[in-house]
Amino acid sequence: ELKVEQNPLFLSMQEEKNYTIYCNYSTTSDRLYWYRQDPGKSLESLFVLLSNGAVKQEGRLMASLDTKARLSTLHITAAVHDLSATYFCAVDNFAGKSTFGDGTTLTVKP
Amino acid sequence: EAQVTQNPRYLITVTGKKLTVTCSQNMNHEYMSWYRQDPGLGLRQIYYSMNVEVTDKGDVPEGYKVSRKEKRNFPLILESPSPNQTSLYFCASSLGIDRVAGYTFGSGTRLTVV
């Protein structure tokens, strides 16, 4: 059974500081995704990581993938209030099965 | 506008009364999937479909049915809803499981079974 673990589950951040969310998964997977969910809203796709060493960046967010360690990280640079949301990582395989982590709720405070 | 449309957005029903939550996408996506989201449990996959007439169970399929008769539609059917199916449901689609793309999610359906 594929398991996906995120940590921390809750993160209170100060503006302008840097932080990292970790996503571990239990078995070999084909793709890793990062999504953002604002309160009461749907999920928005942020990144798709396909191969070992893949790195993608969008604004203050950077995601990376280490398939050997079965670890992905979402790094937040110089946090701002607009980044407050819940972030999910998810993995799937070519057979269509997908598994999500429990989510990390970020709160950015002045 | 490219989107995944779910209906209804909110639904309160009674135990045992059959209901259907519709999901439609206008992007010609091959892959579609249903999830439920419960506090502290993230999203759990209910059923998914790789293409028309092809459906498979996810992690929590008990009490649910789906069908994929057309590419654009993927309804979720609760034949006899129970209170433990009270949840927030999301439909999602993507071009295809072998392509490089994140999923597009619908707006969600908040279901309460009393």
Size of interface A-B (CB pairs under 8 A): 64
pLDDT digits (tens, 9 = 90+) for B7-36: 999 999 999 999 999 999 999 999 999 999
pLDDT digits (tens, 9 = 90+) for A33-88: 999 999 999 999 999 998 888 999 999 999 999 999 999 999 999 999 999 999 99
Interface residues of A toward B, Cβ cutoff 8 Å, are 4, 31, 33, 35, 41-48, 50, 88, 90, 92-103
Contacts of B98 in chain A (CB under 8 A): 94
Whether residue B64 is predicted with pLDDT greater than 90 in this model: the reply is: yes
Euclidean distance between CA atoms B96 and A110, whole angstroms = 42
Query: Is residue A96 within 8 Å of residue B33, measured between CB atoms?
Result: yes
Residue B66: pLDDT band with limits 50, 70, 90: very high
**Given an 8 Å threshold on Cβ–Cβ distance, is A90 in contact with B48?**
no
Sequence letter at residue B60: V
Euclidean distance between CA atoms B77 and B66, whole angstroms = 6
Q: Which of A82, A59, A79, A76 is nearest to A14 (CA)?
A: A79
Whether residue A28 is predicted with pLDDT greater than 80 in this model: the reply is: no
Residue of B nearest to A32 (CA): B102
Residue A29: pLDDT band with limits 50, 70, 90: confident
Whether residue B68 is predicted with pLDDT greater than 90 in this model: the reply is: yes
**Given an 8 Å threshold on Cβ–Cβ distance, is A42 in contact with B106?**
yes
Residue of B nearest to A30 (CA): B98
Measured in angstroms, the CA of B12 and the nearest CA of chain A are apart by: 18
Q: Three-class SS of residue A81?
A: helix
Res A19: pLDDT: 95
**Given an 8 Å threshold on Cβ–Cβ distance, is A33 in contact with B103?**
yes
Whether residue B96 is predicted with pLDDT greater than 90 in this model: the reply is: no
